[in-house]
Amino acid sequence: MTIEWYPGHMSKAREQIKELMRKIDVVVEILDARLPSSSSNYLLQQLRRDKPCIKVLNKNDLADPEVTKSWVRHFRKSANVRALPLSAKQPGEVKQLIKLCRHLAPNRGNPGYPVRAMVIGIPNVGKSTLINTLAGKSLAKVGDKPAITVIAQQIDLHNGILLFDTPGLLWPEMSDQTGAYRLAASGAIGANALDYTNVGVFAARYMAARYPELLRNRYKLSELPEDPHHFLEAAGRHMGCLVSGGAVDVNRAAEAFVREVRAGKLGRVSFEEPETEVEGEMENPDLSGVLPESLH
């Protein structure tokens, strides 16, 4: 099954990004450090060409530090690209972004000639959080609504940097089924319409292959059940997701488990590594029921 996100919106976004690209010096692409590939978007890769780009690996506080290091090495191989792991909630870490913007646009950053940085990313990667931290105050969040014309909001940081915020321009690609599951597990895909049992099974299988200790420790399991459904039952029992009669409510258990993984309650976890396919992925997962109807 091929899934596309609002193809009509994509062509509008293409024109808007192209237009903006002419006016800016640096692209600041916000990615989720736990899934830098699945949280990126091919439109930007196509339109950026050789414009300097900072790949912000946000939510680094939730990602596996060793895997993040390998992503930084990976991005270093591309010309004009720098990767910067950080947490958008940490002003001290976010400061590095300012330095890097200046470094990549050495001819700008003087009075009257600010570095013009386009901030772009799929919903929920932390774009608003980052912009608020950069601005040092809470700016109203502009909705990430697809299929509407969006004017980039300019934010002068008064430190030689002019941000172009681009809400609603980029959406994740959904043609890769495993990527879609990773996005769902990380929380990038809308919370309400998910089939948590499917996402829970995906996350349980992945975690069992990659981070079995984290599962055993969190849910006090001496043996890790091989079958992810059995694992969800055991974890659900531990979390008290029971129905009357004492049976486990597996859907509730799956949702609680996915929320714990997302929030980093089990520990720091990454969902993908550069150029490697990680064991534990679902083969040809059926996405029906996982994603909102409109996205099938």
Binding site for ligand G4P (CB under 6 A): 58-59, 61-62, 87-89, 121, 123-129, 144
Question: Facing residues of 40 across strands?
Answer: none
For residue 248, the SS3 value is strand
Amino acid at 62: L
Q: How far is the CB of 95 from ligand G4P (least distance, A)?
A: 14
Please choose, from the candidates 77, 73, 75, 82, the residue with its C-alpha nearest in 3D space to the C-alpha of residue 27. 82
Nearer to ligand G4P, 68 or 87 (CB): 87
Q: How far is the CB of 20 from ligand G4P (least distance, A)?
A: 17
Nearer to ligand G4P, 37 or 87 (CB): 87
Nearer to ligand G4P, 80 or 153 (CB): 153
Q: How far is the CB of 19 from ligand G4P (least distance, A)?
A: 22
Q: How far is the CB of 75 from ligand G4P (least distance, A)?
A: 18
Q: What is the CB neighbour count within 10 angstroms for residue 144?
A: 18
Nearer to ligand G4P, 190 or 225 (CB): 190
Nearer to ligand G4P, 142 or 224 (CB): 142
For residue 147, is it left (φ>0), alpha (ψ between -120 and 50) or beta?
left
Angle at 114 between CA 57 and CA 23, to 5 degrees: 75
Q: Which residue is nearest to ligand G4P (CB)?
A: 126
Question: What's the start-to-end Cα distance of the chain, in Å?
Answer: 8
Q: How far is the CB of 60 from ligand G4P (least distance, A)?
A: 7
Please choose, from the candidates 59, 134, 129, 138, the residue with its C-alpha nearest in 3D space to the C-alpha of residue 96. 134
